Amino acid sequence: MTDPTIGVLAVQGDVREHVAALRQVGAQTRPVRRAAELDGLDGIVLPGGESTTMSKLLDVFELYEPLRGALADGLPAYGSCAGMIMLASQILDTRADARHLDALDVTVRRNAFGRQVESFEADLDFVGITDRPGEPPVRGVFIRAPWVEEAGPRVEVLARVPDGATPGGAADGRIVAVRQGRVVATSFHPEVTGDLRVHGYFVDLVREVNSSP
């Protein structure tokens, strides 16, 4: 498969940036607001935004159950920031009525790094990208970001906060990128940096899944 079709959940958040990044790494894209728009997708991206608003809008657009079902049936997915929260199986520090999609066996702490003014950037080692010869670190942009508080046994940790990236080292070693089978999530925003490697990593995963017998 050379040109997979990747949907971008388009109910709220930074949709345009993900669409641009996916197209630059060789994917066709489709905005997804209705259940019928899930048909024929090779993968889907859940963008950053506001996770509680996103969960409400999934119900408004009658998309929650169809999307949850598609993920359970094996649709490859990538979530950034709020997308990571939506893909999690448990969310800490959120509203009681917030919903999630149970696609990753992780517990995620919402807004773990603090408020908007405490946003930061850090260079990250990323398994599957920076462990290739000659690859520089991935620049992580964290904006009111979550982190993974706990990861299940089937979850591969792809990146952690390096020591000294935040004041006092409170976030040292926190998990900020994971993969479980066909599902990838990052708490940071690669779509805003111009570095296409995380999107390329996901599109390569989609190609691999869809070329399997």
Q: Give residues with Cβ within 8 angstroms of 99, minimum separation 6.
A: 55, 58, 59, 64
E-assigned strand segments in the chain: 5-9, 28-32, 43-46, 77-80, 88-92, 104-109, 120-124, 138-142, 147-151, 156-160, 175-180, 183-186
The CA distances from residue 99 to 88, 137, 179, in Å, are: 10, 33, 21
Point out the residues that are catalytic: 81, 189, 191
